[in-house]
Amino acid sequence: MSIEILMPALSPTMTEGKLARWLVKEGDEIKSGKVLCEIETDKATMEVEAVDEGTLLKIVVPEGSEGVAVNSVIAALGKAGEKYEAKQTSGRADEQTSKPAAALTPLSNISAQSSQALSQDFVYSSARLLVTNQGRIAASPVAKRIAQERGVNLYAVIGTGPNGRIVKEDVLNAVQQTSRRADEQTSATKLPTPAQAIPAAAAGPNAKQLADLLGQKYTEVKNSPVRKIIAKRLTESKQTVPHFYLTVDCELDALLAARKALNEKENAKISVNDAIIKAVALALREVPAANAAWTEEAILKYTDVDISVAVATADGLVTPIIKGADGKSLVQISTEMRDLAARARDNKLKPTEFQGGGFTISNLGMFGIKNFAAIINPPQGCILAVGAGVKSAVVKDDKLAIATVMNVTLSVDHRVVDGAVGAEFLAAFKKLIEAPSVWVK
């Protein structure tokens, strides 16, 4: 009897993905642990390994296919010569007539609204995820019994037990989130959405239709899965998170001198951005209320200081994480950041390296941008936008002087962090930047 290989859920909010490449072909003998294919998510391309053994009878979803729904059949194993007969629907997510059960999010008890694409941002135990299939899913007996009683699809549940094993709490949380999602969908049907309330004709032509109408020339660049997810999450963040902004100027001359001396002493290549990461981490340790995230039930105040750093890639921004940044030296942060940035650009980060984080830094100073305001990365409560250090006239002791000044703007989720807390954080950050002798070492 053939065994169907399903499209795995590679993140808590994933409902579809791109089957980037098959590494095997029909008729190949498959051993347990053999890498079958590569699945592209919004942040990385991950390999999928086989659990069972047999002959690859059929590749159902060809490589390059986008919008492949989680839990849809992508291939089938069986005995050599056996004919595969489809057991369930497979293919693109928009062709599915039913939705898989909700995946468990590590931030337990988050409402469906606040967990819409909880940005990059949750921790998995391994980047090499196994294909699960009938009879081989790792779950405790109690979890299986509850799933059967409550009608939970275990293939859509993320396990938090040892080695990703699904435990009782995982199933109960999945039940709870499914119920909430159903309630919200029921509520949503009572009132028309803005899109439903406005006739389609009133919206007018889109950019492509308008360009065609006016005879404008253009080149189409197809939206990648990464770009689509980034667009979705930024829109949701700006529409649902109450942003407010705080700005301060920091003098950099003392930090630049301390950095130069440390690089010479350690034969290192510490950047200003590395120093900013460390200063943010120390400021969060001093003002822990800014190291927080929003949920409907509670504000989560993180005890670890894990800093997400925006890195530009061909497909958009990725935010690898410097974990425990407050306890690392500048040399350690510099070495780690260079490695993470390089692998982010090559799409080779592990999920544990970009999912999570409590605070984000976005630095456009190296591009000559003096100041800007960044969009918050939910569920985090803050993001710091860093501009370029520029020679400017400043007043010192009632006299004009020249100093290298860096402008930073803190975007804050007002549900999580109040203005006074944001101001306190920026004051701590400014103090560290302008008096680096005690920590740049």
Active-site amino acid positions: 414
Copy the structure tokens of residue 26.
């029909």
Residue 402 CA, chain-centre distance (Å), reads: 41
- Residues in CB range of 317: below 8 A, 6 or more apart: 230, 310, 311, 362
What is the length of the chain? Answer: 441
CA distance 342 to 270: 16
SS3 28: coil
Looking from the CA of 218 toward its CB, the CA atoms found within 13 Å total 13
**Exposure letters 105-125 (e unless 16+ CB within 10 A, then b):** bbbeebebebbbbbbbbbbbe
**Radius of gyration of the chain measured on its C-alpha atoms:** 25
**Exposure letters 328-339 (e unless 16+ CB within 10 A, then b):** bbbbebbbbbee
